Amino acid sequence: MQLLVFAALSLSVAADSIVSTQILSETSVEASPAVVRPHITSTTPVQSLQAEAMQKLGITDVSEALKLMNGVSVKDYGGLGGMKCVSIRNLGATHTGVLYDGIPVSNAQAGQIDVARFGSQHLSEVRIGIGATQDVLTPAAVESYSGLLSLSSRNCNQAQVSYGSWNTLNVSSCYELTEGLSANANYRHTDGDYPFRIKNGDTWVKGNRNNDRVDDLNAELNYRSRYWQVKGAGYFNDRRLPGSIILYNYSSHEHMREANGLLQAQYLHPIGTHWKLVARAKYNHAMTHYNDGNQLENDVASAQHIYNYRQNEYYASGGGMGMFSTGPVRTRVSALYDVLHAALHSNLRTARSVQRTTHFGVLRADATYRKHTLQGALLYTLNREKDNKRQAWSPTLSANLQVWGNSRQSVHLRWMSRKAFRLPTFNEMYYYIYGSHNLKPEQAREHNLGITYGVWFEGVQLSVTADAYRYRVDDKLIAFPTAFAWKVGNLGKAESRGVELSMHVSVGSSCPIELSANYQWQDARNLDDPTNPNTYRKQLPYMPKQTANGAVTVHTRWADVGYTMQWMDERYSSTMNTFRYRLEPFCEHSLTLSRRWANFELQGTLQNLTDEQYAVIQYYPMPGRQYRITCKYFF
């Protein structure tokens, strides 16, 4: 048994240690189906959720997995069709990078990724890293982000059908065609017209969401070999957008269609035992058609209500790393150069055709001495479009020191300081009068200090982490009002500080129980305008003082049980912290039961058990109690 525990521990450490130079998809640890697992030897907070845990917890897409992680908030506009963007430590979705099988996912137009489009069935791992990346071969293009969401796909052989509330149907399958070549597809439909209750002043009013129908299809072909990882994928979606609840007027007529195709490849080649080369490339084509049916059918050329966007993105990356040992000191250095070219064509009169080329160059180095690690990175970014040129330097320094430990337990301290930034999006630059051409990047200075503890006894694993952080954002992109409309400017300032506590416990072997629990306290304040007492030093919008979440899985002879909980304290939808903008605290519980017979599995999920009526975004009510029945067949 001790050997087994040790094996699990070794895998766990290898997965999060910087000593691992493998790409993320190869670091998935299927042997350790933890709930949400905080990593204790990383220099910055890292958490991951594995495939088996996601299945036991009834998770169907990435947004549901992220709701169980610490320091992560999902801006959820409600329902299957509602956009779900991930914000790490509440810096905003545009500060979060997304890697899918090692290659950046980007959206130059809006700057934020709707993570609900990624189904979880074919994923081996969902990982969140805050601050510096732990892998020296991570693409340079994501180095500037304050947080990194990494999704790793897997080969699997299963088919599943699920049906649930509001005529929600999900059919998905993944299949290994030949060795190394696999395919997966996922189709979803919902009518989405769920009932809600919302407060109009002192009165609760009832209604049903309307214009909520969604159909989407996601299909992928993956090839994996020792050196190669190649992906071809297509995504199509047709959805109605219910919009926010406007009191006395619930009608909505917005409609959106999206089509997305991509081809990406990664080649990783070791040279001898000390060197490794990596090359990556991607082509992504995205089309969006948006019809703002709320604009009445006045046939006026100037009243645009149909918007067509076409984006082409070309990405290439190359670099290498060297590994050296001098006595007990192991050192790695890497250099990567990425270039990303994005072109947007639209029927906007202010953005018929705009292009952006961004160059990223990063040098990374780390040194490991026994159980201590020091890591540094320096990113240079150069961005060109039209007559604008922007450049920025982003240094990062982080360390993890084992201050105490033996073969069964250890205490680590970690520290990170960095300067991160984000470029303005195409929308911020070109969307009619709202856009401004001469924007600077938004700057963030980040500091993190943490302590971690891990202990392993026979049949028991426990890891606990505590991190404190302080962020300051300058040149924040916010609206500059005019007498006619508003316009984006580098005008904002914000500061946040917080504490995050995470715990993961795994107990037992015959009836294993796993538990994860997270708590975050945060004080995030607006520093925009010292002369405005209504907003200066007030709590930033959608930033709760406290959040907590937890997950438990229990394996019994009869069934697997998964339970999740998410709690959020009061917050405000505006920097004016008054009753009009207050969102009530909420607590949502979900329960999943799974039973497997040979190749067949039946799963039932009850989400929002207590039928809590709440909203994450004001006037976008979330669904109440809902059920889902899933049948799975394993080939």
Partner 1 sequence: MKKIILFASIFACLFTACEDDDNDVKIQNGDFQPKSEAVILYEGSYGQNNSDLSEFHKGVISADVYYQANGKYLGDTGNDILEVGDSYYIAVNGSNSVVKIDDDTYKEQARQVVNQPRYLASDGKYLYVSTYESKVLKLSLADLSVVAEAKTGAYTEGLAIEGDYLLAANSGWGGGNTVSVINLKSFETVQEIEVPYNPTSLMATGKGTILVKTTAYTADYSSAVSTISSIDVKSQFAVSTVAEASHMTLSADGNYVYFANCMPNYTAYTYQTSFFKYDLGKKEVSKDPVFANDSISTMLSGISLYLFSVNPKNGEIFIGTSDYLTNSALYVTDKKGNSWVRYSDAGGVNASKALFD
Q: Which residues bind partner 1 (CB under 8 A)?
A: 200-203, 243-249, 296, 298-303, 349-350, 403, 413, 432-433, 435-438, 447, 449, 451, 468-470, 479-484, 486-487, 489, 491, 497, 523, 525, 531-537, 573-576, 580-581, 618-619
In 406-459, beta strands by DSSP E: 409-422, 442-457
Q: Which helix (H) or strand (E) holds 333?
A: strand 329-346
Q: Is the dihedral of CA 412, 371, 12, 18 positive or negative?
A: positive
User: In 3D, which of 234, 223, 221, 224 has the Cα closest to residue 183?
Assistant: 221
> Partners of 572 in the beta sheet?
582
- SS3 call for 319: strand
Q: Which helix (H) or strand (E) holds 66?
A: helix 62-66
Measured from the CB of residue 529, what is the shortest distance to partner 1 in angstroms?
A: 8
In the block, tokens 């909520």 appear at 212
Question: What is d(CA 456, CA 444) in angstroms, rounded to the nearest whole number?
Answer: 38
CB 14 within 8 A of CB 33: no
Measured from the CB of residue 464, what is the shortest distance to partner 1 in angstroms?
A: 15
Measured from the CB of residue 486, what is the shortest distance to partner 1 in angstroms?
A: 5
Would you say 121 or 535 has its CB closer to partner 1? 535
Which residues have CB under 8 Å from 104's CB, separation 6+?
97, 98, 139, 141, 142, 282, 315, 340
Would you say 11 or 451 has its CB closer to partner 1? 451
Which residues have CB under 8 Å from 195's CB, separation 6+?
206, 207, 208, 209, 624
Question: What is d(CA 385, CA 388) in angstroms, rounded to the nearest whole number?
Answer: 5
Would you say 509 or 534 has its CB closer to partner 1? 534
Measured from the CB of residue 117, what is the shortest distance to partner 1 in angstroms?
A: 24
Would you say 497 or 625 has its CB closer to partner 1? 497
Would you say 58 or 435 has its CB closer to partner 1? 435
Measured from the CB of residue 244, what is the shortest distance to partner 1 in angstroms?
A: 5
Would you say 212 or 313 has its CB closer to partner 1? 212
Measured from the CB of residue 62, what is the shortest distance to partner 1 in angstroms?
A: 27
Would you say 408 or 470 has its CB closer to partner 1? 470
DSSP state of 388: E
Would you say 145 or 471 has its CB closer to partner 1? 471
Measured from the CB of residue 487, what is the shortest distance to partner 1 in angstroms?
A: 6
Would you say 7 or 403 has its CB closer to partner 1? 403
Measured from the CB of residue 416, what is the shortest distance to partner 1 in angstroms?
A: 12
Q: Buried b / exposed e across 28-37, counting CB within 10 Å, b at 16+?
A: bbeebbbbbb
User: In 3D, which of 551, 612, 572 has the Cα closest to residue 57?
Assistant: 551
Task: Give the up-direction half-sphere exposure of residue 79: CA atoms within 13 A in the CB hemisphere.
Answer: 29
CA-only gyration radius of the chain, Å: 24
Measured from the CB of residue 554, what is the shortest distance to partner 1 in angstroms?
A: 35
